[in-house]
Amino acid sequence: SRALKSFTSVSLLGFTAFTSIPDFALPLVRSGNMKAFAKAWGKYMTDPSYRQSAKNIGVGIENLMHERMVHMAGDGNQKFANAFFNATLLTPWTNTMREAASLVGFESFKAEIDRAMRMKRMGKTGTRSYQTAVRYLERYGLTGENAAHDFLSTGAHRLDSLPKNEAIEMQVQMAMLCFTNEAIFTPNPNDV
User: Mean pLDDT for each consecutive 10-residue tract of the chain (192 residues)?
Assistant: 70 66 84 91 88 73 53 55 69 81 91 93 92 94 87 82 80 88 68 50
pLDDT at 115: 93
Q: C-alpha dihedral over 57, 62, 66, 67, to 10 degrees?
A: -50
pLDDT at 147: 85
Residue pair 55/98 in contact by the 8 Å Cβ criterion: no
Taking CA atoms, 29 is separated from 33, 55, 101, 106, 177, in Å, by 8, 22, 11, 15, 16
Taking CA atoms, 56 is separated from 59, 75, 90, in Å, by 8, 31, 21
Reported as a single tens digit per residue, the pLDDT across 133-153 is: 999 999 999 998 888 888 888
44 residue type, one letter? Y
Residue pair 153/170 in contact by the 8 Å Cβ criterion: no
pLDDT at 92: 77
Residue pair 178/17 in contact by the 8 Å Cβ criterion: no
